[in-house]
Structure 1
Amino acid sequence: MTSLPSALPPSEDDAARHHSAHGIGPTVSPDTFKALFRGHPGGVAVITAEGEHGPVALTASSVSSVSVDPPLMIFSISSLSSATPTISAAESIVVHLLDADDVDLARLGATSGVDRFADTSTWSRLATGEPVYHGVRAWARCAVVSRMDAGDSTVIAAQAVQASIGRHVEPGDHGNALVYHNRSWHRLGEHSRFE
Structure 2
Amino acid sequence: MSRPDSQASAATPLEAPEHVFSSSLSPDEFKALFRGHPGGVAVITADAGDGPVALTATSVSSVSAEPPLLIFSISALSSASDVLSRADTVVVHLLDAHDLDVAKLGATRGIDRFTQTHRWSRLATGEPVYRDVRAWVRCAVINRMDAGTSTVIAAHALQSHIERDVHPGGPGDALVYHNRTWHRLGEHSRIED
TM (norm. structure 1) is 0.88
The one-letter amino acid paired with 1:118 is: T
Two-structure CA RMSD over aligned residues (Å): 0.8
Q: Say how many residue pairs are matched.
A: 175
Deviation at residue 77 of structure 1 after TM alignment? 0.4
Name the residue aligned to 1:9. Answer: none
Residue 171 of structure 1 aligns to a residue whose secondary structure is coil
TM (norm. structure 2) is 0.89
User: Deviation per CA, 1:106-126, whole angstroms, max 9, x where unpaired?
Assistant: 000000111100011111111
What fraction of aligned residue pairs are identical, expressed as a percent? 70
Larger RCO, structures 1/2 (Cα 8 Å, 6+ apart) = 2
Cα distance between partner residues in 1 of 2:169 and 2:139: 27
Name the residue aligned to 1:24. Answer: 21
1:77 aligns with 2:74: yes
The one-letter amino acid paired with 1:52 is: G
Work out which of the two has the higher radius of gyration on C-alpha atoms and give 1 or 2: 1
Name the residue aligned to 1:33. Answer: 30
Which residues in structure 2 correspond to 1:46-195 (within 5 Å)?
Answer: 46-195=43-192
Cα distance between partner residues in 2 of 1:177 and 1:52: 33
Quick check: 2:138–2:159 contact (8 Å CA) kept in 1?
yes
User: Deviation per CA, 1:65-96, whole angstroms, max 9, x where unpaired?
Assistant: 01000000000001111111101211100000
The one-letter amino acid paired with 1:153 is: S
User: Deviation per CA, 1:143-179, whole angstroms, max 9, x where unpaired?
Assistant: 0011000000000000100000000000011210000
Deviation at residue 53 of structure 1 after TM alignment? 2.1
User: Gaps (5+ residues) in structure 2?
Assistant: 1-17
The one-letter amino acid paired with 1:125 is: R
Quick check: 2:87–2:141 contact (8 Å CA) kept in 1?
yes
Quick check: 2:70–2:154 contact (8 Å CA) kept in 1?
yes
Comparing 65-74 and 46-55, the one that deviates more: 46-55
Quick check: 2:48–2:88 contact (8 Å CA) kept in 1?
no
Deviation at residue 52 of structure 1 after TM alignment? 2.9
Cα distance between partner residues in 2 of 1:111 and 1:132: 18
Residue 176 of structure 1 aligns to a residue whose secondary structure is coil
Residue 158 of structure 1 aligns to a residue whose secondary structure is strand
Deviation at residue 49 of structure 1 after TM alignment? 0.3
Cα distance between partner residues in 1 of 2:142 and 2:168: 29
Residue 52 of structure 2 aligns to a residue whose secondary structure is strand
